[in-house]
């Protein structure tokens, strides 16, 4: 079902304040994610190559001011994607400049290492995400070792409604579990470029069991909310993954 016009008006009224505030704050950060399919027998070697070859090249782009961070995670639970590389930046210009310089660096300084990594993880799906909502993380804290990502397909004519519901109804749910220590951070990512996945709800935790237990609690709270049926009418399908951090910037 569609959200009623009165409820839409109420949610939009709240977003007017958000929009006014947004004019005084920097635009939300962007994340470029590459979801790799890999040779399972050689995945550990890919992890080593990323740490020894790719990560130093990315670190140079952080120092150059193009990227604000990067990371590489391994598959813990989920579908066919086996490794996840992500790059973060404050703007699309910086993101693309950093990515381009990163590949140029690899081509110049370690083409053999790059070629070996590509031979192990030979195909991938690329996405660019814009941060829609997120908890306030401590920038000095190391990243949590595990994350849980819910990759959601949406009706593009209704996904804006899902964003409003996430902000009004489900962000408080996420913050409740954050305050209780069930998760260490969370974010709602909005599709900017890429394939059919339109939104990602993710959270992080200290270990695999923590993020899995959080999934049960979060999903239950969302399903019990009166706006859940309207949310699932807009974003009806999802594929879930749990990831383990292998390498990440500080």
Top-tier CATH class for 5-248:
alpha beta
Q: Is the pLDDT of residue 9 over 70?
A: no
pLDDT tens, 163-198? 999 999 999 999 999 999 999 999 999 999 999 999
Residue (of 92, 96, 191, 206) closest to 151 by Cα position = 191
The angle formed by the CA atoms of residues 45, 46 and 47, to the nearest 5 degrees, is 90
Q: Is the pLDDT of residue 16 over 90?
A: no
Backbone angles phi, psi at 172, to 5 degrees: -60, -35
How far apart are alpha carbons 114 and 50 in whole angstroms?
Answer: 9
Average pLDDT over residues 88-101: 97
How far apart are alpha carbons 117 and 110 in whole angstroms?
Answer: 11
- Classify residue 125 by burial, with Cβ atoms within 10 Å: 0-12, 13-18, 19+: middle
Mean pLDDT score across all residues of the chain: 91
How far apart are alpha carbons 20 and 25 in whole angstroms?
Answer: 9
* pTM of the predicted protein model: 0.89
What single string gives the DSSP state of each residue in 23-37?
TTSPPPPEEEEEEEE
How far apart are alpha carbons 4 and 17 in whole angstroms?
Answer: 21
């Amino acid at each position: 079902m569609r959200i009623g016009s009165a409820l839409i008006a109420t949610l939009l009224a709240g977003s007017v304040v958000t929009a006014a505030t947004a004019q005084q704050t920097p635009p939300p950060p962007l994340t470029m994610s590459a979801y790799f399919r890999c040779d399972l027998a050689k995945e550990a070697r890919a992890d080593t190559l990323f740490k020894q070859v790719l990560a130093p090249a990315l670190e140079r782009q952080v120092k150059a001011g193009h990227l604000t961070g990067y990371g590489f995670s391994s598959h813990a639970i989920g579908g066919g994607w086996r490794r996840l590389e992500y790059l973060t930046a404050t703007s699309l210009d910086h993101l693309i400049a950093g990515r381009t310089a990163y590949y140029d660096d690899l081509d110049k300084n370690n083409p053999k290492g790059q070629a070996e990594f590509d031979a192990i993880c030979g195909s991938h799906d690329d996405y660019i995400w814009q941060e829609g909502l997120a908890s306030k993380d401590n920038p000095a804290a190391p990243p949590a070792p595990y994350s849980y990502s819910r990759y959601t397909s949406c009706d593009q004519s209704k996904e804006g409604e899902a964003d409003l519901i996430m902000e009004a109804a489900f962000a408080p749910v996420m913050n409740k579990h954050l305050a209780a220590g069930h998760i260490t951070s969370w974010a709602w990512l909005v599709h900017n470029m890429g394939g059919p996945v339109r939104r990602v709800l993710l959270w992080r935790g200290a270990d695999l069991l923590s993020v899995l237990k959080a999934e049960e609690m979060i999903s239950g709270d969302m399903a019990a909310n009166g706006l859940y049926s309207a949310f699932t009418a807009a974003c009806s399908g999802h594929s879930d993954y749990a990831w383990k951090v292998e390498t990440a910037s500080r």
